[in-house]
């Protein structure tokens, strides 16, 4: 029966996130997975470790059910707030789909432009994501950690730039035809005394805005697909549904050319010496089956980090600082030092 120590010796990939901490080129780090697996605790712990080697770190929650405030025991808002006990770690909780900034459509008659833009399927959500990324890009942080919503929402969020890029490309491919129809509509409107209905909007304005937006989206896609700048850390627990969803997440991220080579397996049960609980033994046996499957599927190409289920919740800055050490030092779990890793209340 393999032990954790044997796993460490046999693993082809280092079972820690030290390589992420050391890679100074990373600007975007997404942390995501199935609901209820501990994404916020893991992303907050990663941000804590990054703060020790980066000039400035922002952890940003895009989950509508924000948990960052609970994890740090500090209230956060939609503006970057310095985390208590740090000089360079900031946190914020935002709506992942804010309203479109209408100033980007300010080309005469704003209402007409919005109506025309909204005619493109899915553009409201996609344009809102672009606005979110514009806001994030304007912030001067060394690295930004995204504490994301559950898998389905996250995949949709990450696919929006690509979706919008394809949509705008298709719309712009008909720009000449669109321009001709638009001019004809203006001429007909003028003949019928309706010259003001289009409010001074012309096809060139529309195409110019679409071109500008498409260029911004292309920049975002380039960064998302650059493994030197962006990576995705998957979080899961050793159970069937979580294993299945992690596999789906990895496949979708690969399709979108987003780097993912790190999996955190959270809430791993570790028996205390002399424990005779039948329930605990059964659960450990069940978890081992899925831990072995994770190792079989991802052991050669992924950094697999195991984090134990502890007696207490990981809440507050001191608890997160202590817990985060296990992301970079797997021997803490191997040597059984995790039992006393959280500060006493």
Cβ–Cβ < 8 Å for 86, 74: no
Beta bridge partners of 235: 33, 264
Residue 42 CA, chain-centre distance (Å), reads 12
Instruction: Let me know if 340 is a catalytic residue.
Output: no
User: Which residue from 297, 342, 307 is spatially nearest to 322, judged by alpha carbons?
Assistant: 342
User: Of 63, 147, 165, 259, which one is the catalytic site residue?
Assistant: 63
d(CA 205, CA 202): 6
Do the Cβ atoms of 268 and 38 come closer than 8 Å? no
- Tally of CA atoms within 13 A in the half-sphere of 210 that contains its CB: 26
CB count within 10 Å of CB 29 equals: 24
Hey, what are 340's tokens? 């006393």
Please tell me the distance from the alpha carbon of residue 43 to that of residue 36, in angstroms, as a whole number. Answer: 13
Q: Any idea what the Cα angle at residue 9 is, between residues 333 and 250, rounded to 5°? A: 75
Catalytic sites, residue numbers: 63
């Amino acid at each position: 029966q393999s032990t954790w120590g044997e796993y460490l010796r046999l693993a082809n990939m280092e079972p820690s996130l030290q390589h992420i901490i050391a890679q100074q080129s990373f600007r975007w780090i997404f942390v995501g997975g199935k609901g209820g697996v501990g994404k916020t605790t893991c992303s907050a712990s990663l941000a804590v470790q990054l703060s020790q080697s980066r000039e400035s770190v922002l952890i940003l929650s895009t989950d509508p059910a924000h948990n960052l405030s609970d994890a740090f025991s500090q209230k956060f808002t939609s503006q970057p707030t310095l985390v208590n006990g740090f000089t360079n770690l900031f946190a914020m909780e935002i709506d992942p789909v804010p309203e479109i900034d209408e100033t980007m459509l300010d080309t005469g008659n704003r209402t007409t432009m919005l109506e025309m833009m909204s005619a493109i399927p899915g553009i409201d959500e996609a344009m809102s994501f672009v606005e979110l990324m514009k806001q994030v890009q304007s912030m001067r942080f060394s690295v930004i950690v995204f504490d994301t919503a559950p898998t389905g929402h996250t995949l949709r969020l990450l696919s929006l730039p690509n979706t919008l890029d394809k949509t705008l490309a298709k719309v712009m491919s008909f720009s000449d035809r669109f321009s001709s129809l638009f001019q004809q509509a203006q001429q007909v409107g003028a003949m019928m005394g309706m010259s003001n209905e289009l409010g001074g909007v012309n096809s060139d304005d529309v195409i110019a805005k679409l071109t500008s937006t498409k260029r911004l989206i292309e920049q975002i896609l380039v960064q998302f697909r650059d493994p030197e700048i962006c990576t995705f850390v998957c979080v899961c627990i050793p159970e069937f549904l979580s294993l299945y969803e992690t596999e789906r997440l990895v496949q979708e991220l690969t399709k979108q050319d987003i780097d993912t080579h790190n999996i955190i397996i959270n809430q791993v049960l570790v028996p205390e010496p002399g424990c005779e609980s039948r329930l605990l033994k059964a659960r450990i046996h069940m978890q081992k089956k899925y831990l072995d499957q994770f190792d079989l599927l991802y052991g050669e190409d992924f950094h697999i980090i195991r984090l134990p289920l502890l007696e207490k919740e990981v809440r507050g800055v001191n608890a997160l600082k202590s817990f985060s050490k296990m992301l970079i030092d797997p021997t803490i779990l191997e040597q059984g030092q995790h039992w006393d890793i959280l500060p006493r209340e």
